[in-house]
């Protein structure tokens, strides 16, 4: 009789717990924590005590068993005092599962960002402050306009062209003001980017690039927004954004050089002014093309090492989707950069020598001195 009563009691408690937990939703959150003690430390496993710094369980401590798999890409070997991100799953107010997801790195990145801003202002003064403002605008446009609109299903090519044009215009106007130099730089930059974009689109279609060579691109097929992406369009959009910075640098440099030459010699002929810009552009061209190539090489370093290590034939390498994508990206951007030089030089030469075409727009230095209208 006692056994029957005991079994019935256990069964009742078990069923009640199932009902309670079944009705309680599962909640999960990622919170910050700090390792206050490591009670067991071996090459295979770490027993860690973590103080939770935020969220539902803020101020509490939690014991975590951290298993090391031997894979350096996934393993973290923790030390006391380190900050971590902790994933916690709970049901009915009871923690059912928890583990460490990442080491906190954002505070170090914040320090580096502050030093970057400080350096810009220290070396550049007012121009450095303007640069910080333009970087903020660029970040806002990319994160709050470009990305959400593409995720919302808007055509990536059109959206990227519009956002890139706004970035170029805002950057140049904030840094230089609205004058002939700025107008020449804007036209030259947009012209170079358009050429780079046209070449990228033509080559993307001709070489049948999929836009799915990276793992991140493939993951986009399973995002919760269920957006039907045009992956070749996304690839093209990425190429445009990647080329804007270098092309803008070239366009601004050429326009600034022509502005200085014109102010030093107001009587200079249009032909000579354009020639001066082209000569400056020739020096810039090599270094900036190298900048693009080395930047993309650095991003693909691991892939290049794997290809060389396994002695994969050149014909196979150059025809791989991932490699062909990077080659098109580098060459299209570099060609756009090259053509930005003559476009900027010609436009700047015409603007400075044809005042009747630019009513209300003055040269940079004259605008600052007396606001004279040509």
Q: Which residues contact 361 (CB under 8 A, 6 or more apart)?
A: 178, 179, 180, 183, 351, 374
Distances from the Cα of 232 to the Cα of 200, 218, 253, angstroms: 10, 12, 32
Inform me whether the pLDDT recorded for 228 exceeds 60.
yes
> Is the pLDDT confidence value at 369 over 80?
no
Cα(157)–Cα(76) distance, integer angstroms? 40
Residue 167: per-residue pLDDT: 94
Q: What is the mean pLDDT of the chain?
A: 83
Q: How many helices and strands (H and E) does the chain possess?
A: 13, 5
Distance (Å, whole) CA 23 – CA 3:
30
Average pLDDT over residues 207-220: 80
Nearest to 74 by CA among 99, 47, 96: 99
Say which residue, 187 or 8, is predicted with more confidence.
187
Instruction: Tell me what the mean pLDDT of segment 219-245 comes to.
Output: 82
Distance CA(53)–CA(36), nearest Å, equals 12
Is pLDDT at 269 greater than 70 in this prediction? yes
| 193, 241 Cβ separation under 8 angstroms | no
Tokens of 270: 């249009």
At residue 52, φ and ψ (nearest 5 deg) are -80, 130
**Does the structure show a pLDDT above 60 at 365?**
no
- Which residues, including other chains, have CB under 8 Å from residue 366's CB and lie 6 or more apart? 263, 372
pLDDT at 8: 59
Is the Cβ–Cβ distance between 250 and 284 less than 8 Å?
Answer: yes
> Rounded CA gap, 67 and 9, in Å?
38
Domains and CATH numbers, the chain: 28-104 (2.40.50), 137-370 (no CATH)
By the 10 Å C-beta count (0-12 exposed, 13-18 middle, 19+ buried), 277 is classed as buried
Query: Which of 47-61, 172-186, 301-315, 350-364 has the least mean pLDDT?
Result: 350-364
What the block records as the tokens of 258 is 């022509």
pTM for the model stands at: 0.76
pLDDT of residue 209: 87
Task: Assign 24 a pLDDT band (cuts: 50, 70, 90).
Answer: low
Beta strand 94-103 pairing with 26-41:
unpaired
């Amino acid at each position: 009789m006692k056994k029957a009563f005991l079994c019935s009691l256990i069964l009742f408690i078990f069923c009640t717990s199932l009902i309670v937990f079944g009705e309680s939703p599962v909640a999960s959150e990622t919170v910050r924590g700090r390792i206050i003690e490591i009670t067991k430390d071996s090459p295979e496993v770490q027993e860690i005590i973590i103080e939770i710094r935020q969220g539902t369980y803020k101020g509490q401590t939690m014991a975590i068993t951290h298993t090391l798999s031997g894979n350096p890409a996934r393993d973290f070997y923790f030390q006391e005092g380190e900050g971590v991100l902790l994933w916690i799953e709970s049901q009915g107010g009871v923690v059912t599962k928890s583990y460490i997801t990442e080491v906190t790195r954002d505070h170090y990145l914040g320090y580096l960002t502050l030093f970057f801003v400080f350096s810009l202002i220290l070396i550049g003064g007012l121009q450095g402050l303007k640069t910080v403002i333009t970087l903020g605008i660029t970040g806002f446009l990319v994160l709050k306009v470009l990305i959400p609109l593409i995720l919302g299903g808007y055509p990536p090519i059109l959206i990227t062209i519009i956002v890139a044009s706004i970035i170029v215009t805002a950057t140049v106007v904030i840094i230089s003001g609205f004058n002939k130099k700025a107008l020449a730089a804007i036209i030259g930059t947009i012209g170079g980017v358009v050429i780079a974009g046209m070449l990228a689109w033509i080559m993307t279609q001709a070489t049948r690039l999929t836009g799915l060579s990276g793992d991140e691109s493939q993951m986009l097929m399973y995002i919760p927004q269920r957006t039907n992406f045009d992956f070749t369009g996304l690839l093209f959009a990425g190429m445009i954004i990647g080329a804007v910075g270098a092309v803008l640098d070239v366009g601004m440099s050429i326009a600034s050089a022509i502005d200085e030459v014109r102010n030093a010699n107001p009587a200079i002929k249009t032909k000579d002014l354009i020639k001066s810009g082209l000569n400056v552009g020739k020096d810039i061209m090599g270094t900036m093309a190298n900048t693009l190539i080395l930047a993309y090489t650095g991003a693909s370093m691991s892939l290049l090492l794997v290809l060389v290590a396994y002695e994969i034939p050149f014909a196979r390498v150059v025809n791989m989707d991932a490699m062909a994508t990077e080659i098109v990206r580098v060459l299209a951007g570099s060609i756009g950069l090259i053509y930005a030089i003559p476009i900027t030089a010609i436009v700047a030469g015409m603007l400075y020598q044809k005042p009747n075409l630019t009513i209300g727009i003055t040269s940079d230095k004259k605008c600052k001195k007396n606001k004279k209208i040509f």
